[in-house]
Structure 1
Amino acid sequence: MTKQSSLFPQDYDAFLNQLKEQIRCAQVSAATALNREAILLYWQLGKEILERQEREGWGTKVVERLAKDLRREFPDVQGFSARNLKYMRAFAEAYPNVEIVQQLLHKLPWGHLIRLLDSLKNPDERIWYAQQAIENGWSRTVLAYQIESGLHKRLGGAITNFDFTLPKPQSDLAKDLIKDPYNFSFLTLGKDAQERDLENALVNHIRDFLLELGMGFAFMGSQYPITVDGKEYRLDLLFYHVRLRCYVVLELKMVEFEPEFSGKLNFYVSAIDDLLRHEDDQPTIGIILCKSKRKTTVEYALRNLSTPIAVSTHQLPDQLRQNLPSSEQLEMEIDTKLSKIASQTSEDEEN
């Protein structure tokens, strides 16, 4: 009896997969084009409303009436609520030049653009986060997290010797990818936590950890074993960065940076270069994450090393809380402000 599969050409499965891929690409292209047209429409509507308000003094009631009329005329089209119309107006006001919308912002979903409007006042910061969201494919939740954690202030802040140990543009790219500090607010650690506790917690929260490290880091393992001269050594954390095309050795410290840390990491980086690095890989990079650091001490420790090493800091939940004002400090600040208000009120009454 002839099997049913024999009735089909041998390359049928490959042909079917090819068609599926073409259909998916067409769906993505259609969705992208649809989003572009929607964003441009929102900008145009916002611009029209803004101009009418400035020219004719339109108020909130007119916008609410406009929303009702548009929803009645287009019942199957979402996005015409009064709240959304106000966002369209804010969108057009924030980006008066349509070219930035046509060239960049139309690549983001409307929800991302609303998040940028709500969270950031500086136009340059909005554009920076928009570019990062597009390049890295951030969801709205990830975008919100990166804004709240002040990513733009932390990228490129580590102290490194990359300018002397890596060729350009590899050195610039590597510097721009490393943060200072790293925000580990997603962890729960006791006051007496040791380095191994931090390592285990990061591995247990590897998804959040990789998000904080940034795009391109592939986790290779913790306590990664290497053997040199018959003796086994274990690296805290080992990664491979797909964009830099190199291994990244990460050492964790729960104390302030000490010069001997760089010597040990230099040993590990050199060993990974010899034991794991492929001829097509770029030089291995080492990162020391410590509780704190002193700039001159770090610079001296890295100055004459031939391996690329960066020194950065981490912020754990207890450190983040320490940076926030205490309830007593808040109460004192409130009392001071109330006293100033009362004093000013008395002066006004006397005048």
Structure 2
Amino acid sequence: MDRLSTEYQELLISLKQRIRTSQIRAALAVNRELILLYWQIGREILLRQSQQGWGAKVIDRLSQDLREEFPELKGLSRTNLMYMRAFAEAYSEEQIVQQVVGQIPWGHNLMILDKVKDLAARRWYAQQVTTNGWSRNILAIQIESQLYQRQGQAVTNFEATLPPDRSDLVRATLKDPYVFDFLSLGTAAQERELESALVQHIERFLLELGAGFAFVGKQFPLEIGGQDFRLDLLFYHLKLRCYVVIELKVDEFKPEYAGKLNFYLSAVDDLLRHPYDEPTIGILLCRSKNGVVAEYALRDINKPMGVAEWTEALTKSLPDPLQSELPSTTELEAELGAIEWEEDVGG
């Protein structure tokens, strides 16, 4: 009887997992068909307007007629038809719809459409939603912080210290600057204050670091040669399969910082790294840096590391052209509010 009960429980668990997997696949397929339908409707409107000179008023009539025919469908309002037209105009190729933007919900697509103007950036954010499972609120935060522009921008020595295929992968995990807009430290903050504040806001900190970072500890102790040393922050990256040491500095980057971090990386590789782990990576987060000085400091370092800035306010660190593109708080609230109409846009 016990054996039968055990086998039954194993069968039940297996079937539950299969059903959940099937439900997820079905939901993704439904979403993909819905997004493709919206794109096709938008494309037809575009074609009629460009080839036959139809005006904007035809969208009002089309919305009314379609809603009368399909009263059970919630995404046929005039506003949503306008978005379908803009969606088809933004993505001219059906392949992009099928393979990229069709994988994410319509509400996410509208946010990307409203807030991101560059096609490559739009595709990148859509892929990140699929890869990382971002909610719409998280997507809004990432777009607002100009994540696309900051990815892979840190000064590193990865090309000299890592194999080519891994160098590109690791470089993509770093950004510059890192934006800690959830902090209020001021310019006189000490490194321990910064460290404690980041750990207190660990969820936001991990979100800013990016997918894959698992927090191991702060002031992580290492005994080397009979002396005690402490790492500011230690992480393990689940995708890169390696330890990541982060050293925090509240002043401008200095060349000696790279030497100390190199020492820590050697120690972690010897004392913590398992045979199946990749080489440990180091990140120096400084209040500011001189890019040329950082490049010289890393040139002959034999451990993989990068130097990036951290800031509490994005607009302080971006060049003027990007600053002018940032929406105001009022604009953000208005745009986010316009998207929160699930009943009207179909999810």
Q: Normalised by the shorter chain, which TM-score bucket?
A: 0.7 to 0.9
**Aligned residue identity for 1:93:** E
- 5+ residue gaps, structure 2, are 321-347
List structure 1 segments (4+ residues) > 6 angstroms apart after TM superposition: 322-325
More displaced stretch, 172-181 vs 250-259: 172-181
**Aligned residue identity for 1:188:** S
Residues 186 and 147 from structure 1, CA distance in 2 versus in 1: closer, same or farther, beyond 3 angstroms?
same
Matched, 1:181 2:151: no
Distance 1:282 1:322 in 2: 32
Q: What is residue 83 of structure 2 aligned with on the other side?
A: 87
Select the residue among 203, 213, 238 that pairs with 2:209.
Answer: 213
Radius of gyration: which is bigger? 1
- Secondary structure of the equivalent of 2:235? strand
Distance 1:246 1:322 in 2: 30
- Secondary structure of the equivalent of 2:294? helix
Distance 2:317 2:7 in 1: 64
Select the residue among 26, 36, 56 that pairs with 1:40.
Answer: 36
Q: What is residue 263 of structure 1 aligned with on the other side?
A: 259
Maintained 8 Å contact 1:155/1:176: yes
How far 1:63 sits from its partner (Å)? 1.3
Maintained 8 Å contact 1:185/1:320: no
**Aligned residue identity for 1:193:** A
Distance 1:269 1:176 in 2: 20
What is the TM-score of this pair, normalised by structure 2?
Answer: 0.87
Matched, 1:154 2:158: no
- Secondary structure of the equivalent of 1:177? coil
- 5+ residue gaps, structure 1, are 326-351
Give the aligned CA root-mean-square deviation in angstroms.
1.9
Q: What is residue 16 of structure 1 aligned with on the other side?
A: 12
- Secondary structure of the equivalent of 1:25? helix
Select the residue among 216, 226, 232 that pairs with 1:236.
Answer: 232
How far 1:303 sits from its partner (Å)? 1.8
What is the TM-score of this pair, normalised by structure 1?
Answer: 0.86
Residues 194 and 279 from structure 1, CA distance in 2 versus in 1: closer, same or farther, beyond 3 angstroms?
same
How far 1:133 sits from its partner (Å)? 2.2
Cα deviation, 1:295-344, whole Å, max 9, x if unaligned, reads 22212221222111111110123x7458799xxxxxxxxxxxxxxxxxxx
More displaced stretch, 190-199 vs 178-187: 190-199
Distance 2:318 2:161 in 1: 35
Identity rate of aligned residues, in percent?
56
More displaced stretch, 76-85 vs 115-124: 115-124
- Secondary structure of the equivalent of 1:234? strand
Q: What is residue 30 of structure 1 aligned with on the other side?
A: 26
- Secondary structure of the equivalent of 2:164? coil
Select the residue among 286, 291, 312 that pairs with 1:290.
Answer: 286
Q: What is residue 131 of structure 1 aligned with on the other side?
A: 127
Maintained 8 Å contact 2:177/2:317: no
Cα deviation, 1:79-117, whole Å, max 9, x if unaligned, reads 111110100011111112212112222111111111121
